[in-house]
Amino acid sequence: MESYKHSCPRCGQHIEYTADYCGKQMQCPMCGQTVTFPAIPPGRAKLSSSSKKPEAAPKPKKEWKPPAALAVLRDFQHWNVIGQCVVPFVIIAVLLAGAVYVKKKLGEPSTATDAAPVMQADPEAWQRMADLTKATQAMQAAAKNLDQANASLAYQEQALRRLDNGDALQRKAADERVQRAQITATAARQQFDAAEAKYRQLGGTTDYRSQLQRY
């Protein structure tokens, strides 16, 4: 079946759909904006417009002549008096009809079923895209956390080396800071590995490991 692409009006995300979803709606998997697919697939609109037959020239209308009875009513001289009597009744009838209409509209509470249903082109594809988006965000956060942990470890190791000939108490405190930094870096590395495995499982292709300053 032929498929088409439509862009989200908010974030520009391309969404693929088929002719079965023309005129329907779905939620953008990236930003959540409601996206309405075109009623006519791209390419068919031009074909349908070009296939229209030219309109035939309108036929001249025949002049209508009123019957003799209508001519008598037209020449009646007391239409003004009748009109003055009828107009108040017409106004009252219009006001009553408007009151009934307003009462009907205001008296009936709106229900959830009045809203147009939101159609999703492919729930499974949308879920996969949403999971991949979350995995990408987790991957970026884990990479940033690992870089920070490695940078802190390198700083503490450098500070310990500067105390090679220093006071024993200072060296002990510096050594403890290095050990804590090593534990933090190890936990950050494990978190990065777990996030990378899930990201690859969902189809992610970016190599975040090569972007690390130190692994």
- For 196, other C-beta atoms within 10 Å of its C-beta total 19
Please, are residues 184 and 152 in contact by the beta-carbon 8 Å criterion?
A: yes
Chain segment 162-215, per-residue pLDDT in tens = 887 778 888 888 899 999 999 999 999 999 999 999 999 999 899 988 989 888
pLDDT of residue 47: 47
pLDDT of residue 68: 62
Q: What would the pLDDT profile of 118-146 be if each residue is shown by its tens digit?
A: 555 567 888 888 899 999 999 999 999 99
Q: What is the pLDDT of residues 159-177, one digit of tens each?
A: 888 887 778 888 888 899 9
3-state secondary structure of 48: helix
- As beta bridge partners, residue 4 has 17
| pLDDT at position 64 | 63
Taking the C-alpha atoms of residue 103 and residue 101, their distance in angstroms, rounded to an integer, is 6
Domain ranges of the chain: 3-43, 123-210
Angle at 56 between CA 51 and CA 57, to 5 degrees: 145
SS3 83: helix
Q: What is the pLDDT of residue 134?
A: 92
For the record, the structure tokens of 44 come out as: 């068919």
